[in-house]
A and B are shown apart, each in its own frame.
Chain A
Amino acid sequence: DGGITQSPKYLFRKEGQNVTLSCEQNLNHDAMYWYRQDPGQGLRLIYYSQIVNDFQKGDIAEGYSVSREKKESFPLTVTSAQKNPTAFYLCASSITNLSNQPQHFGDGTRLSIL
């Protein structure tokens, strides 16, 4: 089945540690996105990429980094600079970044602090 796979489903981070969340899609979509979801705050955009080897900061990029070396992969690194990383992280993709295209979502990674 085509879709978006996020791994791991649950992740724990120690103080001062960087962790990387995986996002892979086999939909042949050009655009990919990372969102952070906190209770009562909806989805906030961290980074997005319209094409391979290109990405832009979203509203809350500080403390996060991404890469887009392959079309199907858009990993997110939560660095030690992100002081409040506990949240539900959602990856999404769309055919292109044209305005009328819906985004397709993975099932998320829940990150917690040890």
Chain B
Amino acid sequence: AQSVAQPEDQVNVAEGNPLTVKCTYSVSGNPYLFWYVQYPNRGLQFLLKYITGDNLVKGSYGFEAEFNKSQTSFHLKKPSALVSDSALYFCAVRDMNQAGTALIFGKGTTLSVSS
């Protein structure tokens, strides 16, 4: 069965500092991995995805994520956090070999960036 874990309910960082939001996954085959961001009372916005190739994926708003197959992780990173990055972040996975299934989402991590 596919699953996603976001081990931290909340991450607090100071503006200008680097941030990391953690995600680990479990699939039977190879994964397709996604990060989304949600602002209050809004839908989810797509940030980036890992399909294949380079393990470091760059996305919107200066975010990037590193795929690590041995650790089954896909952590979201940003070199310098902004107050406006404060939001709820979701990691999602789908098994490459299971077309016809929906994405599996983690429970979300609230990022709080202080000024």
19 contacts between A and B (CB under 8 A): A6-B43, A40-B9, A40-B107, A42-B105, A42-B106, A42-B107, A43-B90, A50-B100, A92-B43, A97-B101, A98-B99, A99-B95, A99-B97, A99-B101, A100-B49, A102-B49, A103-B44, A108-B41, A110-B41
Chain A 83-99 residues near chain B, CB threshold 8 A: 90, 92, 97-99
Do residues A99 and B42 form an inter-chain contact, with CB atoms below 8 A?
A: no
Of A58, A100, A108, the most chain B CB neighbours within 10 A belong to A100
CB-based nearest A residue for B51: A100
Interface size, chain B (Cβ < 8 Å): 27
Shortest 4 CB-CB distances between A and B: which pairs? A105-B43, A42-B107, A43-B105, A105-B44
Do residues A102 and B34 form an inter-chain contact, with CB atoms below 8 A?
A: yes
Contact of A107 among B43, B51, B95, B96 (CB under 8 A): B43
Do residues B102 and A58 form an inter-chain contact, with CB atoms below 8 A?
A: yes
B94 near A: Cβ within 8 Å? yes
Do residues A99 and B32 form an inter-chain contact, with CB atoms below 8 A?
A: yes
